[in-house]
Structure 1
Amino acid sequence: MIPLAPPDFKSGFVAIVGRPNVGKSTLLNQLVGQKIAITSPVAQTTRHRLQGILTTDEAQIIFIDTPGIHKPHHELGKILVNNAKKAMQLVDLILLVVDSSVPAGKGDRYVVELLADNSTPVILGLNKSDLQSNPELDESYLEIAREREWETIKFSALNQLGIDKLQSILIDKLEPGPYYYPPELVTDMPERMIMAELIREQILHLTRQEIPHSVAIVIEKIETTPKITRVFAAINVERKSQKGIIIGKEGSMLKAIGTAAREQIAKLIEGEVYLKLFVKVEPMWRQSQLHLGEFGYKLDK
C-alpha cells in the first residue's frame, strides 16, 4: 500500500552521476541501507540504471544509480553513457560524485561539461574523503563548484562518514511531494535482475582484468518451492579463452563464483538457494544490437 503523504512530506528523484569507479554504487547501498547495487574495484561496474528508494518520516528519495560516464568504445558503452545522460534530464536533483582522494581530472571535467546545459540543480559530492592525504586536493573540485555555484559536501561512502549530513542536504533540496512507492520498498529492480548482477559481481571480484567487461549474465529459469529456490543462469563471454578462465582448472573458478553468488542470492531472497551456472561463448556480443537487447541492455528513450 502507498500511504497518503502529510502536507510537509518531501519526495523526488535524485540521479547519482560521475565517472567510473568513484563509489556511486557503494554510496547508493549506504543511503538505502541495503545492498541493491553491486560494487567492485573494476571501473564501469554498474551497467543498469538502478533505482534505490530511501524513505524516512519526512521524505522519500528515489535514487538513480547511473553507469559511470566515459567515452565509449563499443555499442554497450554507448548505451550505458546514453542512459546515464538521459537520467540526468529526468530527475529533480543531481548528485555529482567525485573521488576526492585524487585531483579533478579530465574524466570529472567531461562530466561537468555534460551538465553545463542542464537546468537541474547539482550538488557536488566529494567521496573518499577518508583517503585524502592532503586537504589541498579539495581545491580543484571546489573551484569547479564555485564557478557554477554548486553546493559541496564531503563524505566517505565506504565508512559512512558524512552520509547522514548528505541525506539531510538532499531532503532540504527537494520539494513537497507524495509517496511514489510503499515505504518498505528499497528498490524497484526485478529480483531476477538483481540475481544476475550478484553473479556478475563475483566474476568481477574473482577473475582477471580481461574478463569483467566481456561478461553478461542471463537468468534463464527460476524454480521456487517452499523449501528452496533453484536458479539457472548463463554466463556469456566473448571468447573461448575467457570461457576457460571462468570455468578454471577442473571447474574450480566456476565453483568459487557459484558458491559466493549463491550466498548473496540467499541473503536477497532470505531462503535456501540452488544455483546452476552455465558458460556460453557469444563472439563480440558487446557490438551486437541483437545480443545487447537479449541480455537486457537497451537505450532509454
Structure 2
Amino acid sequence: MSTAGGPRPSKNERRDAAREKAREQRLRQQRRERRNRIGLQVGIGVVVLAIVAIVAVVLVNSIRPPGPGPKNMADDGIVITKGLTAERTDALAAGAKPTQRPAPSGKVAIRTYEDFGCPICGQFEKTNAAYIQTLLQQGNATLQIYPVAILDNNFAGSQYSTRAANAAAAVANYSPDRFYAFHSLLFANQPAEGTTGLTDDQLIGYAKQAKVTNLSAISDAIKNHRFFSWVDASTKRFVGADFPDTNVHSAADIQKLLNQPTAGVGTPMVFVDGKYYTGSVANADQFKSFVLSSGAAFTPTPSASPSASASASSSPSPSPTKK
C-alpha cells in the first residue's frame, strides 16, 4: 500500500527517526544547560568581584596603617587659651600612648570630649558656649577639646563623625588658632542624625569660613582622610573610660557618679578641674555653678555672645557609645 506522500516508512526507519529526534532534543537540552551554567558562573563571578571590591574598600578605610596624630594634640585634645588661641605641641608619634599635659595653675581647666554628630554635644555648646568663651577671653580658663567618633552608625554609612573629627584634626595641625572658630561652626551647622551629614566639601567650606591658614593642606587632609587612623585610636582610648587626672577611670566610676547602674561612656564628657560634670546640658546656671565650685580664684563677669551658636535638640543625658 502506498500513500499520497510516497511509500510508508518501515518500522526500522520510524524507530531510527525517533531515535534521531530524541538525540537532537538531548543535544539542544545539553546546550541550554551549558549556556545556563556559563551564565550562572559569570553572574557568580561578578558578584564575587563586587564583594571583593567592597571588602577591599572597607579594609582600606578601617585597617589603615598607624600614622602620626595631628600637631598640637599630643594628648588627644587641643588646648584653647586666652584670645582663643591654641597651645602648641608636637604630633603624637604613630602607635605612641598620649600623656595628659598638666592643668594650668590659677585657671579653671575645662575638658570636653565631643562627637561633632552628637546632638547632646550640640545642646551643651548652645547652652554654655558664651560663658566658656568669656572665661577664655578673660584668661580665667582653658578649654581642651577632644574630638571623638562614636556615632558613625547614625549617619547613613557616611562615617560623618569620623570625617568631622578628621577635619578638626586637620585644622588643629595646620591652623590651630582657628580651631575654636571651626569647632563652633560645625556645631552651629550640625547635621541631623539619620542623614549623611556634611560632605567633605562642606567641611572644607566651613574651614574656609573659619578663616584658616593653609587651606590647601587642610583640604587635602580632609579629602584624603589623613587622620582617620588617629581618630580611630583616640576614640578607642575614649571608649576605654580611663580619663587621666580626673575622677573617672572606669565605667564603674561613671555609673556611680550618675547613679545609673547601666551607664557607660558617652558624649559629651565634660570635666572641670578633673571633676565629671553630671548636670543638665541644657541648664546654663547648673554649669556655671559647677565651674564656680571648682575652687579657681577668679571674678566672673557677664557672658558675651558666642562666636557661633549651636543648633541641636535638648537631651537629658550623654549620647551613648555606638560600636
Q: TM-score, normalised by structure 1?
A: 0.27
Q: TM-score, normalised by structure 2?
A: 0.26
* Higher helix proportion: 2
Larger Rg: 2
* Higher strand proportion: 1
